[in-house]
Amino acid sequence: MEGLVIQGHPNGVFEVRLDDGSIIKAYVAGRIRINYVQIVVGDRVKIEMHTTDMTKGRIACRIPNRIGIPPWKKKEKKKSLEDEEYDDFFDDLFYDDDN
């Protein structure tokens, strides 16, 4: 199941609102603690539900919020000198100044 972290407690327990609207208490899985993954309010997470108590669960992983590369991190491809000479050649060939 997936949900949204709505509140964090100091002992590593989070309140998560599931997609069906119910609110559960979930603790962080050990592999998330070992890899120092930070869970904060507003994160989307995958939950593994407790087998007998449906008000408890374990945060299995955090779902990345952004898709793709942000626009400020995109780099423009620099043209090399050969590309500019290639463009100039075709500009002279197809675009005459006589017309």
Range of the domain at 49: 2-63
Q: Is residue 70 part of a domain?
A: no
42 within a domain of the structure (yes/no): yes
11, with CB counted inside 10 A (0-12, 13-18, 19+), is exposed
CATH number of the domain residue 19 falls in: 2.40.50.140
Tell me, yes or no, whether 81 lies in a domain: no
The tally of domains found in the chain comes to 1
Say if 74 falls within a structural domain.
Answer: no
Contacts 24+ apart (CB under 8 A), 27-35: 27/58, 27/59, 28/58, 28/59, 29/58, 29/59, 29/60, 29/61, 32/59, 32/61, 32/62
Give the chain's mean pLDDT: 81
Query: Could you tell me the two tokens for 32?
Result: 């998330």
When pLDDT is averaged across residues 61-69 and rounded to a whole number, the result is: 75
Those residues whose C-beta lies under 8 Å from the C-beta of residue 29, and which sit 6 or more positions away, are 48, 58, 59, 60, 61
In single-letter form, the type of residue at position 36 comes to: Y
In a domain, 6, yes or no: yes
Position 4 pLDDT exceeds 70 = yes
What are 6-46's pLDDT values in tens digits?
A: 999 988 899 999 999 999 999 999 999 999 888 999 999 99
Q: Is residue 75 part of a domain?
A: no
